[in-house]
Amino acid sequence: MNIDPELYSRRHKPVDSVGIFISKILPHLGWSKSDENEVVMYVGCGPGGNAVQLLVPLFPKLEKVFAMELLPDMIDFAKKHNSHSLIEYSIANIEDWSSIERWENKISKLAALHCFQWLKNQRKGFYNVFKLLKSGGEAAFCFVLNSSFYTAELEIEKNHKWSSLFEGVDDYVPTSHHYNYHASYYEKMLKDIGFEILYCKEEVKMDAFTSDEEYRDFFPSICALTSHVPAEQMEEFKDDLIQELLKQNDRNSEGLPQHWGNMLELVVKKPK
């Protein structure tokens, strides 16, 4: 999958739901009150903005943030535009243990924000998180179960204008969207792995965008279909994708484009 870090990062502020989760929910659960020197891992760090803006300020005693991302272009962008003395950026895959085993039993806090919906094997990802955490360590997950974006993407795939381009293409629409998984499915999975559940909330959330331009930049940048569209058809494809998104989401009372997603927020602990 290819994501353009330049377009993705133009959404300067964090997605509203992520910002609230990090700045309000996690402190309430004690993440900003620990007396220990925290060794933090950020899974799926993207272009690095959330690492600098949200995670570093969260911990009063922070030793290091290991920020990992599967896409090399994202890591290059993060190192260039969101460098920080306490952040170490690395190319790694939470589903591939060989790429992360050097951190086994060393992580005190782990955050994965809008990342786990992209995984092909979520159970393996969660199990690897369990192995990365030291005893008593905690992990926070925030990811999409189903959303209007995935519905719009599937509609575009079926459109006769575009369908021939996407035959055999992996659209990265998660199993949770196709099969309508809910919180109970993931609670059971995590308990089976060995985690204690500290917090679990499923909620449909609306995120408003500041402009049509921001909306148009962001969603094509995370759409797995975009890279399969010829350059001469790209603007038309973006137009159709945005129109389908607006059909699914409408606009808010201020006339701004918006997006809904059924979000799952989880905080879990590896027992001592």
Per-residue pLDDT of the chain (272 residues; tens, 9 = 90+): 555 555 555 544 446 678 889 999 999 999 999 888 999 999 999 999 999 999 999 999 999 999 999 999 999 999 999 999 999 999 999 999 999 999 999 999 999 999 999 999 999 999 999 999 999 999 999 999 999 999 999 999 999 999 999 999 999 999 999 999 999 999 999 999 999 999 999 999 888 899 999 999 889 988 999 999 999 999 999 999 999 999 999 999 999 999 999 999 999 999 99
CA atoms within 13 A on the CB side of 221: 18
Per-residue exposure over 84-107, b if at least 16 CB sit within 10 Å of its own CB, e if not: eeebebeebbbbeeeebeebeeeb
Q: Which residue has the tokens 């085993």?
A: 101
Which pTM value belongs to this model?
Answer: 0.88
For the four alpha carbons of 123, 129, 132 and 137, in that order, the dihedral sign comes to negative
* Sign of torsion over alpha carbons 239, 242, 248, 249: negative
Contact 171, 225 (CB under 8 A): yes
> In whole angstroms, what is the distance from residue 41 CA to residue 146 CA?
26
